[in-house]
Chain A
Amino acid sequence: DAGVIQSPRHEVTEMGQEVTLRCKPISGHDYLFWYRQTMMRGLELLIYFNNNVPIDDSGMPEDRFSAKMPNASFSTLKIQPSEPRDSAVYFCASSVVTRAYSNQPQHFGDGTRLSIL
């Protein structure tokens, strides 16, 4: 089975440019998460969706960040304009909640390594 697919794997761009990260979750999963990982701050949850609806975006650092999930098989995280401090690895993950209302494991993509010059 295909796992969570993220693209691109690496992105290098100059500050001020728009950056779009893409994610395809595992089919049948109803939760999708966007995380950012840095050495300084560890793994931070940016936003998560349930059935394509944003549930909590309190982790989105600034208005420069936006995320969408137009359908169950695709999500984007956009940064506009980008700044050097946005450099990090961005992960997408998906999961499903069982009828017992307990989370099953989250499945992570291999991330997008973003460098803003």
Chain B
Amino acid sequence: SQQGEEDPQALSIQEGENATMNCSYKTSINNLQWYRQNSGRGLVHLILIRSNEREKHSGRLRVTLDTSKKSSSLLITASRAADTASYFCATDEGGSTLGRLYFGRGTQLTVWP
């Protein structure tokens, strides 16, 4: 499968703690993207990291990319109850699949107040 795989499948933490989610993939990529899905809603784009980048920040989000290991991580610092959602990584492989993203199964994050 060309899909990314998130790890862990589920994560439960207290408010104020950091949450780290990992994504592994199998092929070379143009970029990797992270999305959030709140219950009953569509996926929302969080951050995009290009294959020539190693780290990127956006507010409380920090994404790393290691193309040699074909892996990425998403760190949410100082988590809040409102961060409770499913988080998905998606890879852009370009080439003949230009336009398409390959989504993983997601990590369900629960943040307890």
Contacts and interface: CB of A to CB of B under 8 A. Distances in A.
A-side interface mostly: strand
B99 A105 contact: no
Nearest to A3: B42
B47 to A, nearest CB: 9
B112 to A, nearest CB: 23
Interface string A25-56: 00000010100000000110100101000011
Interface string A83-117: 00000000101010100011111111111000000
Given A33-B100, A91-B43, A95-B99, 5 more contacts: A31-B99, A42-B103, A42-B104, A93-B42, A104-B48
Q: Which 7 A-B pairs have the closest CB atoms?
A: A108-B42, A105-B45, A103-B92, A42-B105, A31-B99, A108-B43, A102-B30
B99 A108 contact: no
B106 A45 contact: no
B99 A48 contact: yes
A4 B92 CA distance: 21
Given A102-B31, A105-B48, A97 B42 contact: no
Nearest to B38: A110
